[in-house]
């Protein structure tokens, strides 16, 4: 069954998070705003064939297992109109790998600056894939009061890193008053009486004992935060071709087949800065019927 509401503009942003244009149709696991439809994209795209002129997703494909990527791209193709544009943005594996090699050489030769950069690029490459709790080691790195290579990180990861650093600093300055034991127990009792899911969770926890932790890790890893695979210009082009798309081309953040692309402020900020400079931007066209 398909959702009926397609926004007038016929442009679709999948896995939008908090980065969406109100004139588009936007989808994510949970609704992050009035214009965001809540839907799990591993269950397909909830719109009829040939609905959209543009399908866009940024830093989403790498969150799908490799085996699910092809069916997701085929779904994107299905909901696109003939001659419609698919724009896929992912972290650029090639750029990460090249930076890693530079960092390795420089750090090995004793450069202090590159020792920190080496640490960071490994977090980009691995922490985002192997972590089993939200934020992982990357969040801890960004929470340091004095980040030794902040400029390097901001140059690579742009606005996203800036937001994370600012959030970590704010958390550190807001004073947290420790909760009394009584308040804690009353809160738990209230939740127990009020929420069936809380009772269910307590039951699962007591049944699973030590194995409850394994369930928590599994839930987290299916929750859309970790990277399940990575792409470069070669593998992403090959995937789009396999799914029947045409006119595949690598772009910059500002270039696009989509008219007035930068006016939507998805890959760029209003001041012209690139939102996620560590990205690979690839576009393709759905062949005419
Ligand atoms: C790294 S964020 C990117 C958000 C946004 N597109 C951006 O560029 O800032 C990945 C987003 O994909 C969403 N996501 C991952 N897997 C999903 C799924 N199976 N269904 C719906 N949304 C999913 C996550 O909830 C998250 O908002």
Averaged over 15-26, what is the pLDDT? 94
Q: How confident is the model at residue 196 (pLDDT cuts 50, 70, 90)?
A: confident
Q: What pairs with residue 36 in β-bridges?
A: 26
| 129 Cα to the center of ligand 1, angstroms | 15
- Select the more confidently predicted residue: 140 or 169: 140
Domain-wise residue ranges, the chain: 11-92+231-285, 94-173, 181-221
pLDDT score at 9: 73
* Alpha carbon of 131 to ligand 1 centroid (Å): 17
Query: pLDDT tier at 51 (50, 70, 90 boundaries)?
Result: very high
Residue holding tokens 């899911």?
197
Of the given ranges (101-105, 189-193, 240-244), which has the lowest mean pLDDT?
189-193
36 in ligand 1 pocket by Cβ < 6 Å? Answer: no
What is the C-alpha to C-alpha distance for residues 267 and 25, in angstroms, rounded to an integer?
Answer: 17
Residue 145: how many other CB atoms lie within 10 Å = 7
Instruction: For residue 154, give the nearest of 165, 144, 168 by alpha carbon.
Output: 165
For the Cβ of 274 lying below 6 angstroms from any atom of ligand 1, the answer is no
Q: According to the model, what pLDDT value does residue 164 have?
A: 87
Contact (CB, 8 A) for 45 and 60 = no
User: Residue 27 burial by CB count (10 A; 0-12/13-18/19+): exposed, middle or buried?
Assistant: buried
Question: Phi and psi (nearest 5°) for 133?
Answer: -145, 155
- Domain 11-92+231-285 CATH (choose: 3.40.50.150, 3.30.1120.130, 3.40.640.10, 3.40.190.10): 3.40.50.150
- pLDDT score for 188: 84
**Ligand 1 pocket, residue 41 CB under 6 Å:** yes
> Taking residues 104-128, what's their average pLDDT?
96
Q: Where are the alpha helices (DSSP H) in 80-149?
A: 93-108, 112-122, 128-130, 136-142
Q: Which atom from ligand 1 is nearest to the alpha carbon of 30?
A: 25
First CA to last CA across the chain, in angstroms? Answer: 24
CB of 84 closer than 8 Å to CB of 55:
yes
| Cβ–ligand 1 contact at 32 (below 6 Å) | no
pLDDT the model gives residue 54: 98
Q: What is the pTM of this model?
A: 0.89
Write down the pLDDT at residue 7. Answer: 61
Dihedrals phi, psi of 67, to nearest 5 degrees: -70, -20
Handedness of CA 99, 249, 261, 231 (dihedral sign): negative
Tell me the C-alpha to C-alpha distance, in Å, between residue 100 and each of 104, 125, 128: 6, 9, 15
């Amino acid at each position: 069954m398909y959702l009926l509401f397609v926004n007038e503009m016929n442009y679709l942003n999948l896995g939008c998070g908090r980065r969406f244009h109100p004139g588009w149709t936007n989808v994510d696991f949970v609704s992050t705003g009035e214009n965001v439809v809540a839907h799990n994209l591993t269950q397909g795209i909830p719109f009829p064939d040939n609905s959209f002129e543009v399908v866009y997703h940024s830093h989403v494909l790498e969150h799908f297992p490799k085996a699910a990527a092809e069916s997701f791209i085929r779904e994107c193709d299905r909901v696109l109109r003939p001659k419609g544009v698919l724009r896929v943005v992912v972290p650029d594996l090639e750029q990460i790998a090249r930076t890693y090699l530079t960092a390795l050489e420089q750090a090995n030769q004793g450069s202090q600056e590159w020792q920190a950069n080496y640490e960071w690029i490994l977090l980009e490459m691995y922490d985002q894939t192997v972590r089993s709790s939200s934020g992982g080691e990357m969040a801890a790195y960004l929470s340091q009061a004095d980040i030794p290579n902040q400029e390097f990180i901001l140059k690579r990861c742009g606005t996203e890193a800036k937001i994370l650093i600012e959030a970590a600093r704010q958390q550190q300055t807001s004073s947290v008053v420790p909760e009394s034991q009584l308040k804690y127990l009353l809160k738990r009792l209230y939740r127990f009486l009020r929420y069936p899911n809380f009772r269910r969770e307590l039951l699962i926890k007591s049944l699973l004992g030590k194995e409850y932790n394994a369930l928590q890790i599994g839930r987290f890893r299916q929750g859309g935060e970790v990277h399940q695979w990575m792409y470069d210009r070669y593998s992403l082009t090959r995937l789009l071709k396999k799914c029947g798309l045409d006119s595949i081309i690598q772009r910059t953040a500002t270039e696009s087949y989509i008219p007035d692309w930068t006016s939507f402020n998805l890959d760029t900020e209003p001041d012209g800065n690139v939102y996620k400079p560590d990205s690979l931007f690839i576009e393709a066209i759905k062949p005419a019927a």
